[in-house]
Amino acid sequence: MVVKPEWLRVKAPQWERVGNVKEILRDLSLNTVCEEASCPNIGECFQAGTATFLIMGPACTRACPYCDIDFEKKPQPLDATEPTRLAEAVRRLGLNHVVITSVNRDDLADGGASQFKACIDAVRAVSPQTTIEVLIPDLCGNWGALEAILQARPEVLNHNTETIPRLYRRVRPQGNYQRSLELLKRSHELAPWIYTKSGLMAGLGETDTEIRAVMADLRSVNCDILTIGQYLQPTQKHLNVDDFITPAQFEAWASWGESLGFLQVVSSPLTRSSYHAEQVRELMKRYPRT
């Protein structure tokens, strides 16, 4: 058994603020990936009044062995009121930046693209100053569905590569590495004014060379932003941690990424896809796009 190192211990949050965010989410019957996926940063983010909304869930049509989101329940029909409720949460929380992600909905012809668009439109209607990031699944390679999301003009289009090609069969059996790269490539080509983003987990048996190769692949398709964080086993039923990566190694990957031309690399043991995602607002000032 690999012992969790000191640098992965998280300070206890101020539960008064966390409780306020939870109260709003419960009142509006909304899910967050923070809770569903057992994110270690839930206290810090809720304390700051931010959350990553999980739409079309909580049941997922895929069973990735690293993820704590429920895949055993049957996916429900899309809820036409969800975009309005999500937008109301953004208004109540006073969010400057919102992240909207989803479970995989391979049962839907468009993979849920229409619901992403509806959520983006709803947030724009009530909070036009809020910047929007969408963290989307691979849509089973439905590029028309991808274009529909891009046409809604989120500021950031995020799709996680998750791991290295060698580990896909074990870690992401229903995913496809080349398809994920193609999604990011097409996003940049179809909407170059939108920042593209991806994320990687470390600690599942990959090598430094393999991580760097994926980073190079991402830059080859003009991915702008990268997050790299430590994989943590949610329960005993999930994949074991192979190794705990040192903070120094994460810093080395960040430096390497900057040398490759990423506009931003967030790389640390506790980094997750939407951790400090609001920092993209500063990036947009330094590297504006129209």
Domain CATH code at residue 41: 3.20.20.70
**Residue with tokens 């539960």, as numbered in its chain:** 15
Q: Which long-range contacts (CB under 8 A, 24 or more apart) does 163-171 make?
A: 163/200, 163/201, 163/204, 163/206, 164/206, 164/210, 164/211, 164/213, 164/214, 165/210, 165/214, 166/206, 166/210, 167/204, 167/205, 167/206, 170/65, 170/239, 171/64, 171/65, 171/66, 171/201, 171/204, 171/239
Per-residue pLDDT at 277: 82
Q: Minimum mean pLDDT among 32-41, 72-81, 203-212, 277-286: which range? A: 32-41
Per-residue pLDDT at 8: 79
Please indicate, yes or no, if residue 4 is contained in any of the structural domains. Answer: no
Closest CA to 34 of 106, 49, 94, 97: 49
Please indicate, yes or no, if residue 2 is contained in any of the structural domains. Answer: no
Please indicate, yes or no, if residue 6 is contained in any of the structural domains. Answer: no
Per-residue pLDDT at 68: 76
pTM greater than the 0.85 cutoff: yes
Strand, coil or helix: 64: coil
Domain tally for the chain? Answer: 1
What would the pLDDT profile of 70-110 be if each residue is shown by its tens digit?
777 888 999 999 999 999 999 988 888 899 999 999 999 99
| pLDDT reading at 36 higher than 80 | no
- Report residue 234's pLDDT band, with 50, 70 and 90 as the boundaries: confident
Residue 128's domain comprises: 12-286
Q: Is-contact 91 44, C-beta < 8 A?
A: no
| pLDDT reading at 219 higher than 60 | yes
What would the pLDDT profile of 162-201 be if each residue is shown by its tens digit?
999 999 999 999 999 999 999 999 999 999 999 999 999 9
Please indicate, yes or no, if residue 7 is contained in any of the structural domains. Answer: no
d(CA 122, CA 127): 9
d(CA 275, CA 199): 11
| pLDDT reading at 37 higher than 50 | no
Average pLDDT in the chain = 89
